[in-house]
Structure 1
């Protein structure tokens, strides 16, 4: 049994090498590299930001950002979700244009794209439910089950924003074709207005729109990069990176925004909940650096070895992201309170030194999880008769309703917070909304992926 994940990993790498060798020359390989780098940075950043202690009363922990202020500037390196949305905009624009070029339409595109995200997500949620039910039967304390489920579900919060901007890609791309870079500029101004509204008690909740507006702005930059309106020339990239960096320093060091680009308890304003102008300044900086590095990155990826690694990571990228906090839960239960991971004051020299075995152990656990669950993501591939054009009011309405239900379920999960939410580990409304939405999307997708039944 122990050798099984190893055999699976070897098969994954052999498959990745075959795919790498067959990559068409026109593929934008650098975008795949950025996506792999972004997700890897998120995973390592989350692993480093957690501190845990263990005593006779059980496990205790939190974010290192709360107790060690010297770690907060480091979030400028590890907060790379803007980079992921930039790449998402590039890829979604290219995919939508290609889909329409083959005779498809917006509804068919949304159905196809959501399949790639929701299959591995559904596997994770199903696994969480099974694990929670099993732990309850074995007599695990409800509070511990609730904490474990909450930690495991953290990656799902990000999907609320990403699925929303992805579903909105067809109309937003049409707007981009008309107005170009004016769209992210206007969205940035709206984010600034939302920031201001958050400070005025008379207009509550208005600033929460930045959860969507902020990420839409970065996603639109990806559109501009894909169609050449934001060229990867040094004359554009360097001023862009410099302007973003200056704005970031002014807004945080001089201005009212916190330095940390990752939110934590006790902050009056958080740069990610919802996204602020400071986070958009970081996004502009990252976009400028990415554009500047594009040519040399592309040349490097023409070598088979590096490109094979990038292909391998991207083939299971959602699995890596979705399961990395599960690795934390397993690692905490297995390591803390042992000689491998003794208690240390968070932020101390010993605590920093212990990050080495901590990261190594979590990487091994995550590799095993990917070997087991990565196959579900890799099976999500276009097939003969896959969704192309979906005509009619009813299937379009069902697609919108299904996507809305999925978003409602994931949003309810994010808002539920830590705590015990019943034997299944998740609130009932989350299970009903999410799995109901997945079922509706799956039904429409199945109906329109079998043209022989027309």
Structure 2
């Protein structure tokens, strides 16, 4: 641990002055708020020997406005677009191509995810052999897989980044503007004409709009004074209030407005983007201090591990606390339930700390990448591998809380993902001479 802390501090000290440090700060803040929000809304009940769970937001409707603060995934995609654009530009300057960049960029994303896909089925198989209730295992596996929804969307955008960035260079701010219009059109068709399948296209258009805005930020197309940014944030807030309080959209920014993403979520995204831009100079000044910046570097070093395992921590906490009677079960609409959220979240944090200690090395480890030289084989293998990975993630993400057999997660999705990850690993690490290149 002292060696790790020393390495993190050394990374912080060696950070070049030109780095946009606020990107790393907002990434860490976004993930931490998502983790806390998920832990808060997980309502667990243990009755007659059966453990069950549901979303507290379905009952606590008074908390809907608070979701405006905790629905920060637009910020995550916004800073993701900035970081992706900066990384791609750097790799192209070094002579790498788009496929090479995708292979390197997705390595850190897939290593911790692969660990999750290996560990959860292995633990489930052992639990089945030990006679653990199958319904309990189905619920626990489903809880653990919740983060894969966001990872699926983000990974898809990362894979498409070379082509998305080329589109950005041609059209700039027009790209996110068109994407927002398409979200509005999808809403109209879904809400007005019950065309749900068309409405689901917003899963792509909405996150793509925010990701493309990140490109625009990095390339200087969003240069605003603090006063202009705050005015834009205020305008976005007015639009958001109009769409939800006065208009047809739900007030909550979790649930209806995210499944699929709606125009109301786009208004929230615009407000958050403006706030990030308004705070950018102050955030960068604060992060010049070695203490704050070291903390941000440390958080980002394990941020994917934290995100991937935080719902597993909640599942473990539920199994340990509720059947044993350690955690009280007051009515969800009572003040006592809110007070019991404090020890619940604290215990989830302790369990997550243990999981991070066990698995963070996978994210921290630097892979020795020696990709196959450019050519048809590399391109084809990369496309097939990425397609299998994304398909596997999708199958698992939509599976629901039912029992899916001894693997816990749907075995078809697990196999697809692992096959794709294995293919990509071979492409990333096979010596170039094996293709005939010198």
Q: With the length of structure 1 as denominator, give the TM-score of the two structures.
A: 0.93
Consecutive unaligned residues of structure 1, counting only runs of 5 or more, are 1-7, 264-269
The answer on whether the counterparts of 1:395 and 1:444 sit within 8 Å (CA) in structure 2 is: yes
Counterpart position of 1:49: 41
Kept in 2: contact 1:146–1:421 (CA 8 A): yes
- Shifted more, 200-209 versus 225-234: the winner is 200-209
Match of residue 310, structure 2, among 324, 343, 346: 324
Alpha-carbon distance in 1 for matches of 2:110, 2:246: 42
> Residues 450 and 420 from structure 1, CA distance in 2 versus in 1: closer, same or farther, beyond 3 angstroms?
farther
Q: Could you tell me how far apart the structure 1 residues matched to 2:124 and 2:208 are?
A: 35
Q: Does 1:223 align with 2:223?
A: no
Contact 1:244 1:282 in 2 (8 A): yes
Equivalent residue number for residue 284 of structure 1: 270
Q: Distance in 2 between matches of 1:92 and 1:297?
A: 20
Task: Report the 3-state secondary structure (helix = DSSP H, G, I; strand = E; otherwise coil) of the residue aligned with 2:355.
Answer: helix
Q: How far apart are the structure 1 equivalents of 2:40 and 2:252?
A: 14
Equivalence for 1:403: 386
Give the conservation status (yes or no) of the 8 Å contact 1:402–1:438: yes
Superposed counterparts of 1:77-92, under 5 Å: 77-92=69-84
Distance 1:338 1:232 in 2: 55
Q: Is the 8 A contact 1:390 1:396 kept in 2?
A: no
Equivalent pair of 2:370/2:430 in contact (CA under 8 Å): no
Structure 2 unmatched runs, 5+ = none
Q: Which residue of 1 aligns with 2:99?
A: 107
Moved more, 168-177 or 314-323: 168-177
Name the CA distance, whole Å, in 2 between partners of 1:363 and 1:188.
Answer: 37
Q: Secondary structure at the match of 1:52?
A: strand
Q: Which residue of 2 aligns with 1:271?
A: 257
Measured in 2, the distance between the counterparts of 1:11 and 1:413 equals 37
- 1:4 corresponds in structure 2 to none
Which of 380, 405, 421 in structure 2 is aligned with 1:438? 421
Match of 1:31 in 2: 23
CA contact (8 A) 1:315 1:377 kept: yes
Report what 1:375 is aligned to. Answer: 361
> Tell me, what secondary structure is at the counterpart of 2:164?
helix
Q: CA RMSD in A?
A: 1.8
Q: Secondary structure at the match of 1:324?
A: helix
Verify: 1:256 aligned to 2:248, yes or no: yes
Equivalent residue in structure 1 for 2:352, among 366, 377, 387: 366
Alpha-carbon distance in structure 2 between the residues aligned to 1:450 and 1:334 = 52
65-74 or 50-59, which deviates more: 50-59
Alignment of 1:289-308 (within 5 A): 289-308=275-294
- In 2 relative to 1, CA 211–296 (structure 1 residues): closer, same or farther, beyond 3 Å? same
Which of 179, 182, 192 is the aligned partner of 2:174? 182
Kept after mapping to 1: 8 A contact 2:140/2:315: yes
> Which stretch of structure 1 is more off in the superposition, 343-352 or 107-116?
343-352
Say whether the 8 Å CA contact 1:115–1:380 is kept in structure 2: no
Judge conservation of contact 1:398–1:440 (CA < 8 Å) in 2.
yes
1-structure distance, mates of 2:112, 2:378: 24
The aligned residue for residue 425 of structure 1 is 408
1:71 aligns with 2:74: no
How far apart are the structure 1 equivalents of 2:436 and 2:3?
A: 36
| Match for residue 345 of structure 1 among 331, 347, 359 | 331
Aligned to 1:357: 343
Q: 1:18 to 1:429 in 2, by over 3 A?
A: same
What is the CA deviation profile of residues 228-264 of structure 1, one whole-angstrom value per residue up to 9, with x for unaligned ones? Answer: 101252143112211211111111111111111111x
Residue number in structure 1 paired with 2:399: 416
Cα separation, partners in 2 of 1:452 and 1:199, compared to 1, 3 Å: closer
Change (3 A) 1:335 1:252: same
- Residues 49 and 65 in structure 1, CA contact (< 8 A), matched pair in contact too: yes
**Partner Cα separation in structure 1 for residue 278 and residue 433 of structure 2:** 45
Aligned residues: 437
Check the 8 A contact 1:386/1:448 in 2, yes or no.
yes
Maintained 8 Å contact 1:82/1:283:
yes
1:206 to 174, 181, 198: 198
